Structure 1
Amino acid sequence: MLELRFVREHMELVRKKCALRHFDLTQLDRFAEIDSRRLEVLARAEALKNQRNTVSKEIARLKTAGAEDKAGLRIQEMRAVSEEIRELDCQLAGIEEELQAVIMAVPNLVDDSVPAGDSEADNVEIRRWGEPAQFDFKPLNHWDLGEKLGILDFNTAARLSGARFAVLKGFAARLSRALVDFFLDLHTQRHGYSEINPPFLVNTPTMTGTGQLPKFSEDLFRVEGRDLWLIPTAEVPLTNLYAGQTLAEDMLPIRNTAHTPCFRSEAGSYGKDTRGLIRQHQFEKVELVKICTPEQSFAELESLLADAEETLQLLELPYRVVTLCTADLGFSAAKTYDIEVWLPGQNCYREISSCSNCTDFQARRAGIRCKAKDGGRTRLAHTLNGSGLAVGRTLVAVMENYQQADGSIRLPRVLEPYFVQRFA
């Protein structure tokens, strides 16, 4: 979240940045109105407290002088003042809660390097890698290919769980497992991330720390009768590992990775990607999360992007990188790169990784700070996250890009060692 004092002192800048996101500016008008009310109540409370302090000294002098009657009258007067102060303090507490609720709904400020735009159509492509394969046959989309081979079963999944679920069988299940192992090996052995196995259920403060709550509750699944939510991404537990901590700056950046299932209600996506594996309620992802100093964060964003790109390069999957425009940025992000992989069966590029710098937005919510060894001031850390990669979408990309004329699917060379028979 944004700092309350910063919003008060830089309201026009905040309004300008929020307008670029197409954020409802009436929320900022409401903030200003509530904050104005806060100042009025605060001024009255402070004036009464100063009056009470002054009169308390006067009462002490009267008692010393033996003027007990006059002192008693002043004490009576101050009882009414003290009662009003208590009422004003209660009002202030309520007003602060209102301010907090408003500010929790305000998105991060976009970085100046982010291109302005009104929709995803205004995202800016910055490079491409690899040439889309040329087929001497009409390539199938992954759902037709998967059902033809008997490795994707959407009908059984619908019977078990409903729409937007899939059963992976045989080759697809094994390919999914191989992709996870490959991703984790690459990021831990070459890219320097530490592997974490976090909980898949987290509480409300944890969801709030990374910005999923309170704004996006409809996008989440909750355990009935318990303060537990199914994680929509491993970003949530990985970032909150350090909630409420002050980290030594010489140990930063911290780089962690985790393979987890992810659960999303996909509220608002009715009618979108109703077939196949692209938009599921349950999917798997290998997530990359970094905690660093403010000075490191934008260099770490480029490094995070490079790590995700190399994953696709080793799989020899063509892709492009786009910078998201202001209107397409996620709530917590100050800047985001999307990597979009080429899907020949759908004849388009589709997002497979999103790499974001959240600056100090999540760190303020979660209370993640850092401090230099030389005794410098404690300050908020910066947090970053990215997919390295989304397992289901990578499975889709391998199936569609490596399909053969006879209907089979060839393995990417880098995955061949993960298919060696390991048991007699």
Structure 2
Amino acid sequence: MLQVAFLRDHKQDVISRLAKRNIDAADDINKAIDLDEDRRTIQTKLDNTKAESNTLSKEIGSLFKAGQVQKANVLKAKTTELKETTKSLEQELNLKVEALNELLYKIPNVPNTIVPSGNTDEDNEETFREGEIPQLYDGALPHWELAKKYDIIDFELGNKITGAGFPVYKGKGARLQRALITYFLDKNTEAGYTEYQVPHLVNEASGFGTGQLPDKEGQMYHVTADNLYLIPTAEVPATNIFRDTLLNESDLPISITGYTPCFRREAGSYGAHVRGLNRLHQFDKVEILRVEHPDNSYKALDGMVEHVKGILNELKLPYRILKLCGGDLGFTSALTYDFEVFSTAQDRWLEISSVSNFETFQANRLKLRFKNSEGKNELCHTLNGSSLALPRVLAGILENYQTEEGIKVPEVLIPYTGFDMIS
């Protein structure tokens, strides 16, 4: 959530940068500033009324002690009026605050100045590419056919048990999945991230804290009886560890990692581009998250990008990095880099990770602050990234490592799988 003071002091810059998202935010920004002016005016009246009431209460006590009962009763009648005024002002203030917050919750984060303009993913800017695309044998298969051929993932069984988008991993497929999770966690903890196991359901406050609510309410599975939400990513519970927290500057940076299943209702349209593991309602992901001092967050973002690059280099998968344009940028992000692995059998790029800096946007919603060197409370910066999302990494491995004899296992994973070939 953007801070009203920031909107007021940088109004034209905010409107201009939000235009990169193809949003004309001028009306909402002006309305938010006006609502805040009203709120501050009411707050001043309320504070003055309470101060006057407190002064009169002290005076009434003195008058009663002095035996001036008549004068004291006159002032008591005045304090009764002031109490009614206070109640009315508090109600008016609550309505203004509610209206202001409701509006601010709907305004997305301001893109960083280096975010390219654009409308769709076609306008994203490629910043890096690594790895050679392998030349496959004639008759090479897409991963959903390989999964069926080697009986390692059963999409039809998942459809029977639950529905489309809930695959069942079997035998060496399940072991490879588990190997990837453990390998990712090991790489993250070796890099200094502390491992957490977090809940897979969150309350409404947590959804608002990280920006999934109200923006992505329709994309989350909602347990209505308990008003809980299945997590769309470990980012939600992991970041909310720090909700309503005041840190010391010496506590920063904080780096954590965790594995969770992820649940998303809106899996998209039908067709070859969403077949198999390309897009699921339930999938596994290992996440990395950082809480940073504002002065260090973009250096931290670069470090996270390099960390994910290192993992993909070890897996020896061909990949590229994209700087997302304004039209493709997530609601809460100020700057995002997407990693995509090349699916040789499908002849297309598959997104496998997003690494983002949210600056103070989430921290303001979370009330996540630190006490700086001057003793003042300041909002932290939050960052997170996939390290990594498993389905498309697995799809990339199956397709890029396939041979006529079977599917080779990346060398770095063999100690985790206990086998070097799926055949």
Report the TM-score, using the length of structure 2 for normalisation. Answer: 0.89
Give the Å deviation of 1:323. Answer: 0.4
Partner SS state of residue 359, structure 1 = coil
Match of 2:402 in 1: 403
The residue type paired with residue 297 of structure 1 is S
Q: Where do residues 37-52 of structure 1 align in structure 2 (5 Å cutoff)?
A: 37-38=38-39, 41=42
What letter matches 1:234 in structure 2? A
In the TM superposition, what is the alpha-carbon distance from 1:29 to its structure 2 partner? Answer: 4.7
Question: Identity rate of aligned residues, in percent?
Answer: 40
Provide the secondary structure at the position in 1 that maps to 2:376.
Answer: coil
* 1:69 CA drift (Å): 7.1
Q: How far apart in 2 are the matches of 1:215 and 1:417?
A: 42
- 1:37 Cα offset (Å): 4.4
Cα deviation for residue 347 of structure 1 reads 0.5
1:387 matched to 2:386? The reply is: yes
Conserved? CA contact 1:338–1:354, under 8 Å: yes
Q: Provide, for residues 285-343 of structure 1, a one-character-per-residue CA deviation record: whole Å limited to 9, x for no partner.
A: 01111111111110110110111111111010000011011121111111110011000
1:130-177 Cα deviation digits (max 9, x unpaired): 110112314321112212222221111111111211111122111111
Residue 19 of structure 1 and its aligned partner are, at CA, apart by 2.2
SS of the equivalent of 2:198 reads: coil
Matched residue, 1:162: 163
CA distance, structure 1, for counterparts of residue 40 and residue 253 of structure 2 = 40
8 Å contact kept, 2:246–2:371: yes
Distance in 1 of aligned mates of 2:258 and 2:50: 53
Distance 1:126 1:45, change over 3 A: same
Letter in 2 for 1:284: D
> What is the CA distance between 1:68 and its match in structure 2?
7.9
Map of 1:97 onto structure 2? 98
Decide whether the 8 Å contact of 1:164 with 1:274 is kept in 2: no
Structure 1 residues 186-223: Cα deviation after superposition (integer angstroms, max 9, x where no partner)? 2212x121211111122222222211122221111122
CA shift, 1:33, in A, is 5.0
Matches within 5 A, 1:59-138: 79-80=80-81, 82-138=83-139
Task: Please give the secondary structure, in 2, of the residue aligned with 1:265.
Answer: coil
> Quick one: structure 1 residues 344 and 44, their matched pair in 2 at CA, closer, same or farther if it must change by over 3 Å?
same
Change over 3 Å in CA distance of 1:56–1:389 after alignment to 2: closer
Match of residue 300 from structure 1: 300
- The equivalent residue for 1:141 is 142
* SS of 2:214 mapped into structure 1: coil
- Corresponding residue for 1:350? 350
Distance 2:196 2:44 in 1: 50
Greater alpha carbon shift after TM alignment, 140-149 vs 319-328: 140-149
Cα distance between partner residues in 2 of 1:203 and 1:165:
24
Task: Quote the Cα distance in structure 1 between the aligned partners of 2:404 and 2:203.
Answer: 49
Distance 1:43 1:228 in 2: 38
CA separation of 1:29 and 1:196: change in aligned 2, threshold 3 A: same
- For normalisation by structure 1, the TM-score amounts to 0.88
Question: Please, what is the CA RMSD of the aligned residues?
Answer: 2.8
The answer to whether the Cα contact below 8 Å between 1:143 and 1:275 also exists between their aligned partners in 2 is yes
Q: How does 1:222-371 map to 2 (within 5 A)?
A: 222-266=222-266, 269-271=268-270, 273-371=273-371
Return closer, same or farther for 1:175/1:68 CA change in 2, 3 Å cut-off: closer
What is the CA–CA distance in structure 2 between the aligned matches of 1:203 and 1:274, rounded to whole Å? Answer: 30
What SS is found at the alignment partner of 2:301?
A: helix
* Equivalent residue, structure 2, for 1:10: 10
Q: Is the 8 A contact 2:20 2:116 kept in 1?
A: no
5+ residue gaps, structure 2, are none
Q: Which runs of 5+ in 1 are unaligned?
A: none
Runs (4+) of structure 1 exceeding 6 A deviation are: 46-75
